Amino acid sequence: MSSVKLQQVVEHLEIASDEMVAYINRANGELVMIDIENSSLAEDECDDNPAHLPEWQINIVVEAKRVRADKNFTPLPGRYEINEYELMERFCRSLDDERMQNDLLAALEGRGAFARFKAFIHAENIHEDWFAFKRTSLQQIAIEFLESENIPYQAD
């Protein structure tokens, strides 16, 4: 098997959400994103002929069926495995400025934590630091996943 580019795996992890799932083919490193709606349509065994769907959607459903049928495809870590809230807490604790660290941790409490976090890092001009921290964290998650699945990768 040829190796997969680590950067491409990280990019797919960045897109992971409740609506999108990324898959990797353990045999050849192919990466595919499938949205939940079309994955559900592909799962519908009564829907062997998706001709009733718009043309743009037919190819997506066919692709989702291919991925679901191929045992070599496995999902990449998703939103829950990545746990962005935990990443944000770790970022806060990594800050050298104790006041900023405490203020940012306080911003993570309660409803609206993600919005407050985003506003704070932009107001304090540390958003680039956050993006770098998050990217490094996602890269580590990708490496651990690929190694656990015995999928060879190349760092870019």
pLDDT tens per residue, range 101-145: 999 999 999 999 999 999 999 999 999 999 999 999 999 999 999
Residue 3 within a domain: no
The residue written with tokens 């997969």 in the block is: 4
Residue 90 vs residues 41, 49, 51, 72, 80: alpha-carbon distances, Å: 38, 48, 48, 34, 16
Q: Number of folded domains in the chain?
A: 2
pLDDT on residue 9: 95
The residue written with tokens 């797919």 in the block is: 12
Residue 76: count other Cβ atoms within 10 Å of its Cβ.
24
Residue scoring higher pLDDT (1 or 46): 1
Do 48 and 89 lie in one domain? The reply is: no
Do 138 and 94 lie in one domain? The reply is: yes
pLDDT at 146 over 60: yes
Could you read off the pLDDT of 20-74 as tens digits, one per residue?
Answer: 899 999 999 999 998 877 677 767 645 556 667 788 888 888 888 898 889 999 9
pLDDT on residue 49: 60
Give the E-state strand segments of the chain in sequence order. Answer: 4-5, 20-25, 31-35, 73-75, 153-154
pLDDT at 2 over 80: no
pLDDT on residue 20: 87
pLDDT on residue 102: 94
Residue 65 within a domain: yes
Please give the residue range of the domain that contains residue 99: 81-143
Reported confidence tier of residue 152, pLDDT bands at 50, 70, 90 = very high
Contact status, residue 77 vs residue 145, Cβ threshold 8 Å: yes
Do 30 and 71 lie in one domain? The reply is: yes
Written as six digits, the tokens of 118 are 């985003």
Do 85 and 61 lie in one domain? The reply is: no
Written as six digits, the tokens of 31 are 């990466």
Give the up-direction half-sphere exposure of residue 108: CA atoms within 13 A in the CB hemisphere: 17
pTM over 0.75: yes
Do 53 and 70 lie in one domain? The reply is: yes
Angstrom distance (rounded) from CA 152 to CA 121: 35
